[in-house]
Amino acid sequence: MIGIIGGTGTSSLKDTYPIIREETVNTEYGTAPTISILDIDNKEVAYIPRHSEGHSVPPHKINYRANIQALKNIGVRQIYATNSVGSLDTNIQPGSLLIPDNFIDFTQNRISTFYDEEVVHIDCTEPYCQSLRETLLKSGEVHPYGIYIATEGPRFETGAEIQFYKLIGGKVVGMTGVPEVVLAKERQMCYASICAVTNYAASISPNKLTITEVVDAMKDCEEKLIQIITKTIKNTNDNLNCECQNILDDAII
């Protein structure tokens, strides 16, 4: 099964596609938000709202392990995640979509692994699934690559931080991409992100950033997101035998 982890402004997916059923999944890491099984192009697709219903859980409090484990438990092998981000590059404009190819992690207080009790080292040279990324790139007009800077939140970044992130090669900044991508990799699931650019980050824009601006811009991105998700689901090979699904072969000591 294909999974979608929906971020800010993606609740309309449930209004766009028929809901086949809904599932509440309890895991050893806690109970995940209700998962809706949608019918997209005659495929069963599991949609989970990252922030829970009503967007009630802030980025630094999300139970990322429960979300990933719940998708794993119901048979999801491939995940497309949506993330709202700020742009560090004036050529990457609000309203556009970007498919990240790597990340730099500046989160601080999150549980970022399933392996607290054993020694497991997974390879993160290419953290995002290249097969899923290629499918996304063929499904719509997007920026084809860029480094995702992951920050703790919930505050927005300072101007000095943004200038530093830009200096080290960052293209977009967000609060939800990590550890989600790493946890999916540890569970041997293919994972790719669709970043919806909602604003220029602090100091890139001359104006102060507000949450109203982010939410309004995300609404403007919704139609693009739905279109690319629909095409991507249609073009995804459900039976893909990807190296992501065998990542633990050389990771366990």
Whole-angstrom distance, CA of residue 252 vs CA of residue 250: 6
Whole-angstrom distance, CA of residue 41 vs CA of residue 26: 28
Q: What is the pLDDT of residue 153?
A: 94
Answer whether residue 242 shows pLDDT above 80. yes
| pLDDT confidence band for 9 (50 / 70 / 90) | low
The neighbouring-strand residues paired with 86 are 173, 199
| pTM score, whole prediction | 0.94
- Comparing 78-82, 147-151, 209-213, which segment has the lowest mean pLDDT? 209-213
Answer whether residue 160 shows pLDDT above 90. yes
The neighbouring-strand residues paired with 82 are 194
Residues 162-212 have pLDDT tens digits of 999 999 999 999 999 999 999 999 999 999 999 999 999 988 877 776 777
Average pLDDT value for the chain:
92
| pLDDT confidence band for 48 (50 / 70 / 90) | very high
Answer whether residue 146 shows pLDDT above 80. yes
Q: What is the mean pLDDT of residues 136-159?
A: 96
Whole-angstrom distance, CA of residue 222 vs CA of residue 77: 25
Q: What is the pLDDT of residue 167?
A: 98
Q: What is the pLDDT of residue 217?
A: 75
Q: Which distant-in-sequence residues (6+ apart) come within 8 Å of 242 by Cβ?
A: 129, 131, 190
Q: What is the mean pLDDT of residues 241-252?
A: 87
- 243 phi/psi in degrees, rounded to 5: -65, -20
Residues 11-45 have pLDDT tens digits of 788 888 999 999 999 999 999 999 999 999 999 99
Q: What is the mean pLDDT of residues 108-136?
A: 95
Do 196 and 83 form a contact (C-beta atoms < 8 A)? Answer: yes
Domains of the chain, first to last = 2-250 (3.40.50.1580)
- Please provide the DSSP assignment of 44-59 as one string: EEEEEETTTTTT-S-G
Residue of 69, 82, 88 lying closest to 188 (CA atoms): 69
Residue of 44, 68, 41, 56 lying closest to 11 (CA atoms): 56
Q: What is the pLDDT of residue 205?
A: 77
